[in-house]
Structure formats: C-alpha cells, structure tokens
Amino acid sequence: MTTSTVKVTLKRSVIGRPRYQVETVKALGLRKIGDSRELVDTPVTRGMIKTVLHLVEVEA
C-alpha cells in the first residue's frame, strides 16, 4: 500500500504574520522561503496547509 504525499513549498515570508501562522509553518517543517517538504496527505496536514495557503505552494 502506498501512502499519498503532498509537496509543500514556502513561497512568502512569515514576518509580520500572526503567531498561529508562524507556528503552523514551523509545524509543517518549513524554515526559509524556498524550503520544500513531502508530507503524508492526511486531514491534519490538509488543515495546516489550509491555514497558511496564502504563504505556501502545494503540489499533489
């Protein structure tokens, strides 16, 4: 069985953003603009991505 993944890339800075958005980006494992992570596609991950969708780029 293969687990589906989603690739998340930080495209915008978290400077000046609310604390919950900064913490969400950290929880996704992103640190600098241009950082990418392959994450397991779960409802929890999707919820975190939805919170910071304006800061990240998502590829299926």
Q: Domain locations in the chain?
A: 5-59
- Alpha carbons 54 and 29: distance in angstroms, whole number: 17
What the block records as the tokens of 59 is 């590829």
**What integer pLDDT is reported at residue 1 of this predicted model?**
59
- Residues in CB range of 5: below 8 A, 6 or more apart: 38, 39, 40, 41
Please name the fold of domain 5-59.
Answer: Ribosomal Protein L30; Chain: A, (3.30.1390)
pLDDT digit of tens for each residue in the chain (60 aa)?
Answer: 578 999 999 999 999 999 999 999 999 999 999 999 999 999 999 999 999 999 999 998
Given a contact cutoff of 8 angstroms between Cβ atoms, the answer to whether 55 and 4 are in contact is: no
